[in-house]
Chain A
Amino acid sequence: MNWTFFHKLGSPKWFYDISGKWLPWLQVISLVLIVVALVWGLAFSPSDYLQGNSYRIIFIHVPASFLAQSVYLMMATAAAVTLIWKIKLADMALKVMAPIGVSFCILSLVTGAIWGQPTWGTWWVWDARLTSMLILLFLYIGIIALRGAIHTTEAAAKACAILSLVGVVNIPIIKFSVDWWNTLHQGATLKLTEKPSMAPEMLWPLLLAIVGFYLFFMMVMVLRLRIEIISRERKTRWVKELVS
């Protein structure tokens, strides 16, 4: 197999050029998908027979939770690439993804709380899912704080990569133990996503929203990554030519 594309992908200049071409497409498609999904979900989907209209927050809550978790997995992948192949671009991706992951985590927790208030009658319960999302937020904040504390870029890159990998080993353990802890204390009464075979009129906008959120994430990541590339490669000739 021809692996040259892999090394090309690792070159900041090449990525900067090619991502410039992706960017308008990502922007348009993600915007269209999110608008269509939200209008469909918020205005045209039937209301739930139990929860009424309050269920409609899932069109934001579920995609945000999906992303909060998968961004961490992507970060761990980028971390492995950083450590194994020492590709600079992977570390830049690791760096710019962390704040995005934090935002999705917070979005997921906040929308969950807003949904929980009318449905469960409380903003917060110490349910397994809520708790593991909160801990995921701590893991993200830890990585960002570690990068902020180490001043040399090289060492910060590798330290953050190691921490991300340690975190990804721990995520299943944390999830499992939190599940165990919760079922021990209060029984499985509250499950956030026990989907009783969702009606297609609700499922379709949800799927569209998830795809739209993923593309939105890609778009934001590419934007941030391009800025990071420019600032880290500012001493190279191509950036100087680009800016002048």
Chain B
Amino acid sequence: MSNVDQQSMHGFSACLALIRRDLILAFRSPGQTINPMAFLLMVATLFPLGIAPDREVLSELSAGIIWIGALLAVLLSLDSLFKNDQDDGALDQLLMSPHPLPLLVLAKVFSHWLTSGFCLTLMAPLLAIMLHLPSDAFSPLMITLLLGTPVLSLAGAIGAALTVRVQRGGVLLTLLSLPLYLPVLIFATGAVNASIQNLPYTGHILWLSVFLILGICLAPLAIAGALRVINE
């Protein structure tokens, strides 16, 4: 096996180890995973109380409510993405490792998505029933959440990396991340609403996939750059 191959193999197994570690940590303090889900559930409860419990009104709003709730829940969970590692020194280990930092960062973001966006996606059908989303729109909702929430994790991780040294950076993180989240929100809710009106929504889904591919290619570079800059 050539030297380059060995290096990339090591990088891959380092990623696996990193994901495994993050998942174990998540299992041992389940609050990190459960809190965003509880948050989403509560946000979804507030809307019928605050607006109207009507079936018609809610079924029109439900896609937007679920998506905005999921977006805010991901934002909440991002604050601790690098901060815990920064506090216990694991982040310094990550920065000093011989493997390419963007790859490791991608692994971290992936495990973050597994414990946040993915769990929120699993919860979405329940909320869809509660908010009277028309049943035809269930599958586009799930597809958009599956494609869109990883983009939220990727884009938000840039902000999380930039604010890792900032005390109480939560609000700042929101300010930095929300403009990046807009395209995802627009296309995701657009797809669900189009399907409710029996319009084709393949275009929206394809654009969400484009965002995901762009995010996977570019965001790790920005995140790695930000982490290096902040910890210099």
> For residues 43 through 80 of chain A, which have their beta carbon under 8 Å from a beta carbon of chain B?
none
Is A221 part of the binding interface, using a Cβ–Cβ cutoff of 8 Å? no
Is A22 part of the binding interface, using a Cβ–Cβ cutoff of 8 Å? no
Output the least CB separation between B211 and chain A (Å): 8
Contact of B180 with A178 in the complex, beta carbons under 8 Å: no
Type the 1/0 row for A155-167, where 1 means its CB is closer than 8 Å to any CB of B: 1001100110111
List residues of chain A with CB within 8 A of the CB of B182: 135, 174, 177-178
Type the 1/0 row for B193-232, where 1 means its CB is closer than 8 Å to any CB of A: 0100000000000010001000000100010011001101
List residues of chain B with CB within 8 A of the CB of A146: 162-163, 172, 176
Interface size on A, as a range, is 20 to 34
Contact of A159 with B186 in the complex, beta carbons under 8 Å: no
Instruction: Select which of B163, B166, B179, B187 is within 8 A of A170 by beta carbon.
Output: B179
Is A181 part of the binding interface, using a Cβ–Cβ cutoff of 8 Å? yes
Output the least CB separation between B230 and chain A (Å): 6
Given contacts A173-B183, A177-B182, contact A159 B175 (CB under 8 A): no
Closest A residue by C-beta to B183: A177
Given contacts A135-B182, A141-B175, A166-B180, contact A155 B158 (CB under 8 A): no
Given contacts A145-B175, A155-B230, A169-B218, contact A162 B162 (CB under 8 A): yes
Output the least CB separation between A238 and chain B (Å): 28
Contact of A159 with B230 in the complex, beta carbons under 8 Å: yes
Closest B residue by C-beta to A132: B182
Is A184 part of the binding interface, using a Cβ–Cβ cutoff of 8 Å? yes
List residues of chain A with CB within 8 A of the CB of B175: 138, 141-142, 145
Instruction: Select which of A145, A158, A166 is within 8 A of B158 by beta carbon.
Output: A166
Output the least CB separation between B32 and chain A (Å): 24
Is B125 part of the binding interface, using a Cβ–Cβ cutoff of 8 Å? no
Output the least CB separation between B186 and chain A (Å): 4
Complex alpha-carbon distance, A173 and B207, angstroms: 10
List residues of chain A with CB within 8 A of the CB of B190: 180-181, 184
Closest B residue by C-beta to A170: B180
Complex alpha-carbon distance, A163 and B175, angstroms: 12
Is B169 part of the binding interface, using a Cβ–Cβ cutoff of 8 Å? yes
Type the 1/0 row for A85-122, where 1 means its CB is closer than 8 Å to any CB of B: 00000000000000000000000000000000000000
Instruction: Select which of A154, A155, A163, A173 is within 8 A of B176 by beta carbon.
Output: A163
> For residues 80 through 130 of chain B, which have their beta carbon under 8 Å from a beta carbon of chain A?
none
Contact of B183 with A159 in the complex, beta carbons under 8 Å: no
Contact of A177 with B180 in the complex, beta carbons under 8 Å: no
Contact of A135 with B179 in the complex, beta carbons under 8 Å: yes
Is A150 part of the binding interface, using a Cβ–Cβ cutoff of 8 Å? yes
Closest A residue by C-beta to B218: A169
List residues of chain B with CB within 8 A of the CB of A180: 186-187, 190
Output the least CB separation between A184 and chain B (Å): 6
List residues of chain A with CB within 8 A of the CB of B229: 155, 158-159, 162
The residue in B158, B162, B211 that gathers the most chain A C-beta atoms within 10 A of its C-beta is B162
Is A149 part of the binding interface, using a Cβ–Cβ cutoff of 8 Å? yes
Instruction: Select which of A138, A165, A166, A181 is within 8 A of B178 by beta carbon.
Output: A138
Instruction: Select which of A162, A167, A174 is within 8 A of B183 by beta carbon.
Output: A174
Is A139 part of the binding interface, using a Cβ–Cβ cutoff of 8 Å? yes
Output the least CB separation between A123 and chain B (Å): 22
Closest B residue by C-beta to A161: B229
Output the least CB separation between B231 and chain A (Å): 8
The residue in B165, B175, B207, B218 that gathers the most chain A C-beta atoms within 10 A of its C-beta is B175
List residues of chain B with CB within 8 A of the CB of A170: 179-180, 183
B residues contacting A by CB (< 8 A) are 158, 162-163, 165-166, 169, 172, 175-176, 178-180, 182-183, 186-187, 190, 194, 207, 211, 218, 222, 225-226, 229-230, 232
| Listed A/B pairs (18) with beta-carbon separation below 8 Å | A142-B172, A142-B175, A145-B175, A146-B162, A146-B163, A150-B166, A155-B229, A162-B158, A162-B162, A162-B229, A163-B162, A165-B222, A166-B180, A170-B183, A174-B182, A174-B183, A178-B186, A184-B190
- Name 12 extra pairs, CB < 8 A, besides A138-B178, A159-B162, A163-B162: A142-B172, A142-B176, A146-B162, A146-B176, A149-B163, A149-B169, A155-B230, A158-B232, A169-B218, A177-B186, A177-B207, A178-B182
